[in-house]
């Protein structure tokens, strides 16, 4: 009985591990040669549509307010990116530009100001037993991260928009939106 159980369990375990490994090898922060089309109105999808459109990690962060690990591959990629813009991975809305990006050393992409304030909104977050300010995409309500003030960074706003990189799509400077 134990041998039969193991004969089933071992192959299933390897299959699941292979699927998880394949998921982790997908690029976390996408880089596109052309910008995604800028949405003209609020983007609303069912939970099933979001699950279909996003990777499992993007879904966990954008739709379930998750957080990626600090100093990961996404952060290393972010640090290497040059001039360009950062769009919402959920809907394509322009959120930040490389002109406001800075290295805060926190392990997540950091910006001192949103590129288009109309596409970024904030709300009070009382989760985890503390008061924080959550940053959301104003177009699709995707969770992006949190904003912190008064940390002493030498930036024009003294704000740090601490953003999950998997929720962003980087578009190199000079590229036009695809309609």
Mean pLDDT of the chain: 82
More confident residue, 27 or 44: 44
Q: Where are the beta strands (DSSP E) in 73-167?
A: 84-88, 94-97, 101-102, 110-111, 120-125, 132-137, 143-149, 159-163
- Count of Cβ atoms closer than 10 Å to residue 91 Cβ: 24
% of the chain with per-residue pLDDT over 90 = 68
DSSP characters over 24-93: HHS-SSEE-SSBPPPPSS-----HHHHHHHS-HHHHHHHTT---PPTTSHHHHHHHH--SEEEEETTT--
Q: Which residue has the higher pLDDT, 148 or 10?
A: 148
Domain map (residue ranges) of the chain: 28-172
φ and ψ of 10, to 5 deg? -60, -50
pLDDT > 80? residue 176: no
Q: Give Cα 90 to chain centroid, integer Å.
A: 9
Averaged over 86-115, what is the pLDDT? 94
Topology of the domain comprising 28-172: 2.170.150
The catalytic residue among 88, 91, 140, 162 is 162
Nearest Cα residue to 91 out of 145, 46, 31, 138: 138
Q: Which pLDDT score, from 0 to 100, does residue 140 have?
A: 96
19 is catalytic: no
Q: Output 7 or 63, whichever has higher pLDDT.
A: 63
């Amino acid at each position: 009985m134990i041998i039969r159980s193991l004969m089933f369990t071992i192959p299933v375990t390897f299959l699941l591990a292979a699927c998880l490994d394949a998921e982790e090898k997908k690029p976390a922060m996408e880089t596109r040669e052309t910008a995604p089309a800028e949405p003209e109105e609020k983007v609303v999808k069912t939970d099933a549509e979001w699950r279909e459109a996003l990777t499992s990690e993007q879904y966990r962060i954008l739709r379930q307010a998750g957080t990626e690990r600090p100093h990961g591959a996404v952060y290393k990629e972010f640090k290497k990116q040059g001039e360009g813009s950062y769009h919402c991975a959920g809907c394509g809305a322009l959120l930040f530009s490389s002109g406001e990006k800075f290295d805060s050393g926190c392990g997540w992409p950091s910006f001192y100001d949103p590129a288009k304030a109309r596409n970024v909104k904030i709300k009070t977050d009382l989760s985890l037993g503390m008061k924080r300010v959550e940053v959301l995409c104003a177009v699709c309500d995707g969770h992006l991260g949190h904003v912190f003030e008064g940390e002493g960074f030498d930036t024009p706003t003294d704000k740090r928009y601490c953003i999950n990189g998997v929720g962003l799509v980087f578009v190199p400077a000079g590229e036009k939106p695809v309609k």
